[in-house]
Amino acid sequence: MKKSILIIGTIVAMTACSQPKNPFLTEWDTPYGVPPFDKITLADYIPAIKAGIEQQEKELQEILDNEEAPSFQNTVAAYELSGEILDKVTAVLFNLQETEDSEEMEKVAEEATELITAQSNEISMNKKFFERVKAVYEADQSGLTREQQMVLQNLYKSFTRNGVALDDASQERLKEINLKVAASQQKFGNNLLAENNAFKDKFGIPVSSYTSEMTTCEDRGRREEMFKAYSSRGNNGNEYDNKALCLEILKLRAEKARMLGFDTYAAYALDEQMAHDPQTVDEFLDKIQKASNAKAKEEVYDMQKIMDEDIAAGKVEKGSKIMPWDWFYYAEKVRQRKYALDEDQTRPYFKMENVRNGAFAAAHKIYGINVEPVSGIPVYNPAVETFKVTDADGSLLGIFMTDYYPRPSKRGGAWMTVFRDQYVDKDGNEVRPIVLNVGNMTAPTDSEPGLFTVDEVETVFHEFGHGLHGLLTKCTYPSVSGTSVKRDFVETFSQFNENWAFQPEILAEYARHYKTGEVIPEELVAKINNAHKFNQGFMTSELCAASILDMKWHELTMEDLEKMSEGDQAANVAAFEEKVCKEMGLIDEIIPRYRTTYFNHIFNSGYSAGYYSYLWAEVLDKDAFEYFQQQGIYNPEVAAKFRKLFLERGGSEEPMVLYMMFRGAQPDPGALLRARGLE
C-alpha cells in the first residue's frame, strides 16, 4: 500500500484494552521510527490487519459523509493519508515473509492476503467514493500542483481499471478473481521457496550460488544434473509443482482483462506503462533478440574450440557439443584466455563491506550525500545492518538497511523494498523513508569473509540505485514518492547506478584486498572493464528470451488458456515454451533466464507482462550515462539535475516528460546495444 500515515486515534483507543501489547496498535518509540521487530510476534499480524481495515473503513466513511463539495483535499488527499495501521503491518509482514519465511508465516500471510484483497476490492469498486473522485477529476485542475494532478489521475484510473463501472454481478466475479489470483500467487512463491531449498539439499549449495558453481565445476555430469534440477524447479510433478498454478493465474488474469475491455492481459497491463501496448514491446524485444542471438552464436563458436581441445585431451567424450550446462564453464575459460581475467583474482578485492562502502562513496561523490552506520536500531535478523543517510547539509534523508546473505527462510534474488515511504503528514511534517536492500550474495565462511564476484558487485550497486530512488525522494503524497513510478521506468535508476561500480575513481575508494589492504591494481581494473562486454550475447539473449516468454504468456486469450489447461498441462506448458523460443530464434544452447514454473517476477510479483522493463529502462539508463560521459561523469551540475528531476520527483510527473527535461532529446535505443557490445 502507498498511503500512510494518520494519527491512530479512535481505533487504537478501542483496541488498546483488549490487545495492549500489539506493537502495531501503538506509537513506535524506536529510533527513527523503525519497526520494533524485537517486540512483534506472529500473533500480532492478523489482529492488527483487522484493526487496520476497520480504521481505514472509518476514515473512508468520513470522506463519503463529508457534505462539502468534493475537493482534492477532502477526498484525494484525505484518502492518501488513510490506513496508517494497515500500512505499518503490511510493510512488516510481507517484507519479512520474503526474508524470514516459515510455515507459520505462510499461513499468516495467506490469511492477511485474503483480508487485504477483499478490502481493496471494496474500496476500488465503491461507486460513491468513485463519484467523489470523478467530480474532482472532471473539475478545473489548474489550481492543483503537478504532483496533485498525477495523484488524482492515478486514483481516478485505478477505479476505472479495477471495475468500478461494472454491474454488480461482474463486480462480484472480479472480486473473486482478485482473491483467487492473490492466493495462487502466494502459493507459487511458497512452492518456489520449497523447490529452492530442495535444490540446496541435493547439491549442497543455495540457488544463488548456481552460476558460480556451474562456472567452476569441472565435472560435466554434475553440471548437467544441476542444470536439469535448476531449470525444472516447480515442474517436477510433486506437491510443489507450479504448472497448474501458472495456468490458473494466467486464465484469471485474462478473464479480468476481458471484463475490463481488453483482449489480453498484456494489453490491460501495458495500457498504463510507458510502452503502452504489446506491439511496441514485441517490436522492441525482437530487435534486441536478433542482435543478441547473432552475438551468442559467435560465443558458442569460441567455446566449442576450447571444448574440442578438451576432447582431444580426453577430458570430454568425443563428438561432444556445447550444451546449456556447459555455457558458464566454457565461457569462463574463453574469458580467461581473451582477457586473462579470473574471478579468483578479483574476489579478494571485493569484500562485502568494502563493496557496500563503495556504493556509498559513489553516492557521496555524485550527489553529496553521506551514509554512516548506526547502532541500537531494531532489526529482524542479526545479519541486517543499519545506516543513517544524510544530505550535504546534515539533514536526514532516511534509514537504510542491508541484508545480503542467503538463508533457507529467504527467497532467491535481490531486491529493494521499504518499511516506510517518504511523504508529508497531515500536520505538514516530512516523514523520511526506511529502505531495505536484500540479496543472496556469497556468504562468509569459517576461513574468509564474504568475497563478491563481479556480478555481485554490480548487484550491490543496482539495488542501492533503487535505494537512492527511495531515499532521495521529495514528494508530498506517498502514492507517488520514491520508486512509485511506472513499472517500465523504475529500473532506470538501479541500472544507471551500476555504471559507477567499476569507474577507476570509485574502485580506488573501495576495492582493497581483504588481507593486505592493497588497492586493486590498475591492470586488473582494465581487465574488468575490457571484459565488461564479454558474453553479452548470452546475457542479453536469456534476459530478452524471458521477457518475450512473459509477453507471449500474457498475450494469450481466455480461449487459448482454457484449451491449454485441458489434457496434459506439463506437455502443453513445455510445448508453448518450445514454440516461443523457436519463434524468437533462441539458440539451443540457451534457455530463458526464467522458465515458466520458476518465473517469480511474473507469477508472484509486479512484473506480469512487464519483465521487458529491465531492457526498456536500460535504454534510458545507458542514454543518460552517455550524457554524463559527454558532460563529464562527475559534473556536479549534471548530477544535481539528475537528482532533482528523477530521484526526487518519484512518480509526480510522466516519465518521458522528465527524461526530455533532463536530456533535451528522446532516448537513443542504440545506447543499449552499444553498452552491451551488440552493434
What's the rounded Cα separation, in Å, for the pair 607 and 468?
A: 21
So what's the pLDDT on residue 45? 98
So what's the pLDDT on residue 20? 59
Of 80, 463, 618, 653, which residue is the catalytic one?
463
pTM: 0.89
CATH code for position 523 = 1.10.1370.40
User: Domain count of the chain?
Assistant: 3
Identify whether residues 131 and 223 lie together within a single domain.
Answer: no
Q: Which of 162, 123, 154, 161 is nearest to 137 (CA)?
A: 154
Given the C-alpha cell 561432444, which residue does it identify?
320
* Neighbouring C-beta atoms of residue 309, cutoff 10 Å: 12
- Tell me the residue range of the domain where 137 lies: 10-124+126-161
What's the rounded Cα separation, in Å, for the pair 503 and 362?
A: 9
Q: Is 258 part of a structural domain of the chain?
A: yes
- 490, 515, 533 - which closes a domain: 533
CATH code for position 648 = 1.10.1370.10
Q: Is 339 part of a structural domain of the chain?
A: no
Identify whether residues 375 and 514 lie together within a single domain.
Answer: yes
Q: Which of 34, 60, 49 is nearest to 87 (CA)?
A: 49
So what's the pLDDT on residue 4? 37
Q: Are 55 and 86 in contact (CB under 8 A)?
A: yes
Q: Is 437 part of a structural domain of the chain?
A: yes
Identify whether residues 377 and 495 lie together within a single domain.
Answer: yes
Q: Is 189 part of a structural domain of the chain?
A: no
Identify whether residues 547 and 411 lie together within a single domain.
Answer: no
Helix (H) or strand (E) holding 434: strand 434-438
* Residues in the chain with pLDDT values less than 50: 1-19
Q: Is 54 part of a structural domain of the chain?
A: yes
So what's the pLDDT on residue 21? 86
User: How distant is the alpha carbon of residue 126 from its chain centre?
Assistant: 30
Cell of 91: 510493510
Q: Are 449 and 352 in contact (CB under 8 A)?
A: yes
Q: In b/e form, how buried is each residue of 340-372, taking b as 16+ CB within 10 angstroms?
A: ebebeebbbbbbbebbbebbbbbbebbbebbbe
Identify whether residues 547 and 517 lie together within a single domain.
Answer: no
Q: Is 463 a catalytic residue?
A: yes
What's the rounded Cα separation, in Å, for the pair 493 and 483?
A: 9
Q: Are 517 and 353 in contact (CB under 8 A)?
A: no
So what's the pLDDT on residue 456? 96
Assign 470 to helix, strand or coil.
helix
So what's the pLDDT on residue 237? 92
Q: What percentage of residues in the chain have a pLDDT greater than 70?
A: 97
- 487, 518, 533 - which closes a domain: 533
Assign 121 to helix, strand or coil.
helix
